[in-house]
């Protein structure tokens, strides 16, 4: 009844899947949801971006460079941290 099952992960294949366009599209949709929620909270303007990494794709939501009003709102209210749940389905 209790058989031991062993498998070996194909690391190159896993990296290929985690950097694939489908995964990047899902991450971008989640980042845009966080962005929209953050903008609705404090009226600031945020940026959502996705990049392929060495092992997996990365999504980020950040304040635009030079937008000091949004930076101040983020620093005061921690808007991006509060908006993280919007990216979970």
Q: What is the mean pLDDT of residues 19-33?
A: 98
State pTM to two decimals.
0.87
Distance CA 22, CA 18 (A): 9
- Identify which of 80, 32, 23 has the alpha carbon closest to the alpha carbon of residue 52: 23
Rounded to the nearest integer, the mean pLDDT of the chain is 95
- Residue 2: the pLDDT is 76
Distance CA 16, CA 53 (A): 11
Q: What is the pLDDT of residues 8-22, one digit of tens each?
A: 999 999 999 999 999
- Residue 89: the pLDDT is 79
Q: What is the pLDDT of residues 36-56, one digit of tens each?
A: 999 999 899 999 999 999 999
Distance CA 2, CA 89 (A): 35
- Residue 60: the pLDDT is 97
- Within 10 Å of residue 58's Cβ, how many Cβ atoms? 15
């Amino acid at each position: 009844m209790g058989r031991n099952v062993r498998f070996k992960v194909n690391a190159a294949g896993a990296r290929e899947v985690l950097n694939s366009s489908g995964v990047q599209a899902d991450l971008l949709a989640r980042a845009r949801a966080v962005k929209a929620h953050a903008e609705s909270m404090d009226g600031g303007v945020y940026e959502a971006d996705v990049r392929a990494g060495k092992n997996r794709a990365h999504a980020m939501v950040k304040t635009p460079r030079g937008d000091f009003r949004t930076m101040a709102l983020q620093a005061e209210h921690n808007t991006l941290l509060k908006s993280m749940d919007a990216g979970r389905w």
